[in-house]
Amino acid sequence: MQDPLKIGIAGLGTVGVGVIKILEQTAERIAARAGRPIAITHVSARTRGKDRGVDIGGYTWCDDPGALADAPVDVIVELMGGSDGPALVLAQKSLSAGKHFVTANKALIAHHGQALAESAERSKAVLRFEAAVAGGIPVIKALCDGLAANEIVSVQGILNGTCNYILSVMDQEGADFGDVLADAQRLGYAEADPTFDIDGIDAAHKLAILAAISFGAQIDFDSVSVDGIRAVSPVDLDYARQLGYRLKLIGRAHMVDGMLEQRVAPTLVPVGHPLAAVEDSFNAIVFEGVPVGQTVFEGRGAGEGPTASAVVADIIDIARGGDAPAFGVPAAALKKLSATPTEARQGRFYVRLTVEDEVGVAASIASLMRDHGISMDSLLQRGEAGKGEVTFVLTPHRCALSVIEAAAEARAALEVVLSKPAILRIQDQDDV
């Protein structure tokens, strides 16, 4: 058997500890599958003496994570997080030095993936980031290998377990967003600062990575349209059910007239769609490919076990000699695609507005929609006469997002409108 593959780990949080456990507790099985032993030799983290539940006394400690790039190791595993700072410095130094680099850092790849892939290829190093998207679900390997013969038409998914947990509980219990978020934080499903999760940024990082691989494109995080779930109300989940949908935070990318459209938004998904039944903190991704058709992946998207599993899978791939390009094709072959402009983004939408309960208010709303050239598919109303306010939910036929936004802005200016209109996406069953 070959000499051990030497590993240096930067970041000893939940995932870093999980990687140590797997490599130590299943060393014999890992060596058999990798074709050689895999040995951790160097580690780095913020605090040396912290009790992490694993013994790191046998590893060489580096106060500066950047020093791992100069250490006698073959693979650097970065688990610190952050798109810049120490994580970026370590990635750049490691790849420039010809050391293989494995990361679970979706922000790092979403912002710097193109440059890092180019650096890896120049130095003949391997860059891997399976754990950066959907935790333990092997979607990147599936795209690069199992689906390599296919033209990917679209990729979409539930890419953030925190948001899916919150929406699931809101749907099941009729609870308000703020209350469920507080419970999610108490249970450890949400961070103390949940901004990246609930505002859709985490999902957007993952979508940008998936889109780049799916369409052979240079990664373009800045072109992802991002809306989070802060404004979602229990009434939206109730109306969604009445209309035959479930409300999920969906990341979706597809080509429109040669341009790439990427968006993350709360979306009404038909009850028969694979994503509609995904509950709790699970993630799921759906690819539409030619000739394969629809392929669905579902599983845990975060946590020690799933994420560490993906990290170790990348290490095993490197131990076996896997040296395929990070994004499935050489970095120089990745195309720079134009982003679909906002005014060209078509779709169906759910519009909710609360208005004063006055005679003729429904007719006024219908007239305003007509003036903007919007035809209606359905209109639902909730509220009892004489109670002071009434809620309308409008679902226009397919039209441009810019038109819906202009109409919503005009409606918001009406004196009878009591709050900002809510606009949600509707995905039809036959959308690809």
Choosing from 50, 206, 335, 387, the catalytic residue is 206
Under the banding of pLDDT at 50, 70 and 90, the label for residue 88 is very high
Answer whether residue 190 shows pLDDT above 90. no
- Told to judge if 206 belongs to the known catalytic residues of this protein, a careful annotator would answer yes
* pTM to 2 decimal places: 0.92
| Of the candidates 284, 308, 291, 269, the residue with the CA atom closest to the CA atom of residue 210 | 284
Mind listing the pLDDT tens digit for each residue in 113-141? 999 999 999 999 999 999 999 988 999 99
Under the banding of pLDDT at 50, 70 and 90, the label for residue 363 is low
Phi, psi of 272 (to 5 degrees): -85, -5
DSSP labels, 57-96: TTSEE-SSGGGGGGSS-SEEEE-S--SSHHHHHHHHHHHH
Residues found in the chain:
432
Residue 263: the pLDDT is 95
Q: In the predicted model, what is the mean pLDDT of residues 412-428? A: 74
Question: What are the Cα distances from residue 348, in Å, to 71, 152, 175, 179?
Answer: 55, 23, 27, 30
Lowest mean pLDDT among 23-27, 242-246, 302-306: 302-306
Q: In the predicted model, what is the mean pLDDT of residues 297-318? A: 93
Mind listing the pLDDT tens digit for each residue in 134-166? 988 999 999 999 999 999 999 999 999 999 999
**Which domains are seen in the chain, by residue range?**
5-132 (3.40.50.720), 139-300 (3.30.360.10), 342-426 (3.30.70.260)
Q: In the predicted model, what is the mean pLDDT of residues 87-113? A: 97
Residue 342: the pLDDT is 73
Estimate to the nearest angstrom the gap between the alpha carbon of 367 and the chain centroid: 39
Average pLDDT, the chain: 90
Under the banding of pLDDT at 50, 70 and 90, the label for residue 386 is low
Lowest mean pLDDT among 81-90, 235-244, 394-403: 394-403
Residue 117: the pLDDT is 98
Under the banding of pLDDT at 50, 70 and 90, the label for residue 399 is confident
% of the chain exceeding 70 in pLDDT: 91
Under the banding of pLDDT at 50, 70 and 90, the label for residue 189 is confident
| Of the candidates 398, 360, 353, the residue with the CA atom closest to the CA atom of residue 376 | 398
Q: In the predicted model, what is the mean pLDDT of residues 51-66? A: 93
Residue 226: the pLDDT is 96
Task: Please report, in angstroms and rounded to a whole number, the separation of the first and last CA atoms in the chain.
Answer: 48
Answer whether residue 78 shows pLDDT above 90. yes
Mind listing the pLDDT tens digit for each residue in 252-289? 999 988 999 999 999 999 999 999 999 998 999 999 99
Residue located via tokens 């009591």: 418
Longest dimension (CA), the chain: 83
Residue 391: the pLDDT is 81
Residue 37: the pLDDT is 96
Answer whether residue 385 shows pLDDT above 60. no
Under the banding of pLDDT at 50, 70 and 90, the label for residue 415 is low
Phi, psi of 230 (to 5 degrees): -55, -35
Residue 130: the pLDDT is 97
Residue 390: the pLDDT is 77
Under the banding of pLDDT at 50, 70 and 90, the label for residue 384 is low
